[in-house]
Amino acid sequence: MKPTEAAAKPSLKERFAVLLKEYGPVAVLVYLTLFLVGVVGFSVAIQAGWSEALSRRFGLTLDGGGGLAGTLVAAWALTKVLQVPRILATVVLTPLVGNIPLVIRLRERLDKSKRGAA
């Protein structure tokens, strides 16, 4: 790869900003869905007894703070560790979700209602 090609490639932050501008609520919904799936998935895994394996994999200590609150905090921490891959997944998935016919119609209705209210 030539140095000019590397310099011309936008950063992840810039790509995410363009994605938000182009797809708006769809990008936010995809990101939040991935976040909630991560928290719920890690919560279920911790409750199922996989906390030792998760601790070794992500280098976090998941002991103490039992109960639901402790499980949710540990699940949030594990989900936070995966934030960069989640943003990358959002950048990849949002155009795919945004081009589903039903989503296109909903976006068009939202645009029309915004123009009508202005």
What tens-digit pLDDT sequence spans the chain (118 residues)? 455 555 678 887 888 888 888 888 888 999 999 999 999 999 888 888 777 777 777 776 666 556 788 888 888 988 999 999 999 999 899 999 988 888 888 888 877 887 776 6
Give a yes or no: residue 63 inside a domain: yes
How far apart are the C-alpha atoms of 33 and 73, rounded to whole Å?
18
**Which of these, 55, 105, 94, lies nearest to 75 by C-alpha position?**
55
Give a yes or no: residue 62 inside a domain: yes
**Inter-helix orientation angle 67-81/51-58, to 10°:** 30
SS3 61: coil
**Which of these, 112, 101, 58, 62, lies nearest to 81 by C-alpha position?**
58
Give a yes or no: residue 18 inside a domain: no
Structurally, how many domains does the chain consist of?
1
Give a yes or no: residue 15 inside a domain: no
pTM (2 d.p.):
0.72
Give a yes or no: residue 44 inside a domain: yes
Residue position matching structure tokens 């950048």: 91
Structural domain of 52 = 24-117
How far apart are the C-alpha atoms of 113 and 108, rounded to whole Å?
9
How confident is the model at residue 49, as a pLDDT?
Answer: 78
- Note whether 93 and 30 are within 8 A (CB): yes
Give a yes or no: residue 3 inside a domain: no
Give a yes or no: residue 6 inside a domain: no
Give a yes or no: residue 85 inside a domain: yes
